[in-house]
A and B are shown apart, each in its own frame.
Chain A
Amino acid sequence: MTAMQIIFLLTAVVTLFSAFRVVTTPNMIHAALWLVTTLVGVAVLYVLLSASFLAVAQVVIYVGAIAILMMFVIMLTRREMRDHGPQIGKQWPWAAVLAVLFFGGVVWMVQSMSLAAAPAAEVPQTAIADLGKALVSPNGFVIPFEVASVLLLAALIGAVYVAWTRRHS
Chain B
Amino acid sequence: MGILSQPIGVIAEWLRNLLLGWGLSQGLTTVLLYLLGGAVVAILVQTWVIFLIWYERKLIGRIQDRLGPNRVGPYGLLQPFADFIKIMTKEVIVPSGADKPLYFWGPILMDAGVLMLWAVIPLMPMVGMDLNVAALYTIAVGGFATLGILLSGWSSNNKFALVSAIRTVAQMVSYEVPTVLALLIPVLLAGTMSLHGIVEAQHVWYIVFAPLAFVIYFLASVAENGRSPFDLMEAESEIVAGFHIEYSGMVFAIFYVADFLHAFTIGALAAVLFLGGWRGPGAESFPLLGFVYLWIKAFAVYFVGVWVRGTVPRVRVDQLMNFSWKFLTPVALILLVLTAVLDHFVFGLGAWARALSHLLMNVVVAVAVLRYLEHHEKVRASRRQMVAQPGQYPVARPPRPAVAENPTEAAS
Indicate whether A4 reaches chain B with its CB closer than 8 angstroms. yes
Contact between B27 and A3 (Cβ–Cβ < 8 Å)?
A: yes
Which residues on the A side are within 8 Å of B147 (C-beta)?
36, 63, 67-68, 71
Q: Closest approach, in angstroms, between the C-beta of B347 and any C-beta of chain A?
A: 15
Q: Which residue of A lies closest to B136 (CB)?
A: A56
Query: Could you jot down 15 A-B contacts, CB within 8 Å?
Result: A2-B27, A4-B27, A29-B102, A33-B102, A53-B136, A56-B137, A60-B140, A60-B143, A67-B143, A72-B150, A75-B154, A75-B166, A76-B166, A127-B132, A128-B132
The answer on a CB contact under 8 Å between A59 and B27 is no
A-B contact count (CB 8 A): 71
| Minimum CB distance partner of B137 in chain A | A56
Asked if A63 and B144 make an inter-chain contact with CB atoms under 8 angstroms apart, the answer reads yes
B397 within 8 A of A: yes
Q: Identify the interface centre among B99, B139, B143: most chain A CB within 10 Å of its CB.
A: B143
- CA A29 to CA B146, docked complex, whole Å: 15
* A59 and B140 contact, CB distance less than 8 A: yes
Q: A57 interface residue, CB < 8 Å from B?
A: yes
Q: Tell me which residues across on chain B come within 8 A of A75, comparing CB atoms.
A: 150, 154, 162, 166
A7 to B28, CA, bound (A): 10
Contact A128 B28 (CB under 8 A): no
Q: Chain A nearest CB: distance from B301 CB in Å?
A: 24
Residues A7 and B31 in contact in the complex (CB < 8 Å), given A33-B102, A72-B166: yes
B164-176 vs A, Cβ < 8 Å mask (1 yes, 0 no): 0010010001001
Q: Is the beta-carbon distance between B31 and A63 smaller than 8 angstroms? A: no
B residues neighboring A (CB under 8 Å) = 25, 27-28, 30-31, 99, 102, 131-133, 136-137, 139-144, 146-147, 150-151, 154, 162, 166, 169, 173, 176, 193, 397
Within the assembled complex, what's the spacing in Å between the Cα atoms of A169 and B399?
A: 15
Contact of B133 among A2, A30, A53, A168 (CB under 8 A): A53
Asked whether, in the complex, the Cβ of B397 is within 8 Å of the Cβ of A68, the reply is no
Those of A4-51 within 8 Å (CB) of chain B: 4, 7, 29-30, 33, 36
By Cβ-Cβ distance, the 6 closest A-B pairs, closest first, are A64-B143, A3-B27, A63-B143, A59-B140, A3-B31, A60-B140
A contact set with B: CB distance below 8 Å = 2-4, 7, 29-30, 33, 36, 52-53, 56-57, 59-60, 63-65, 67-68, 71-72, 75-76, 125, 127-128, 168
B302 to chain A, nearest CB (A): 25
Q: In chain B, what residue has the closest Cβ to A62? A: B143
Known A68-B147, A72-B169; 19 more pairs at CB < 8 Å: A3-B27, A3-B31, A7-B31, A33-B102, A36-B147, A53-B132, A53-B133, A56-B133, A56-B137, A59-B143, A63-B147, A64-B140, A64-B146, A67-B147, A68-B143, A68-B146, A71-B154, A72-B166, A128-B132
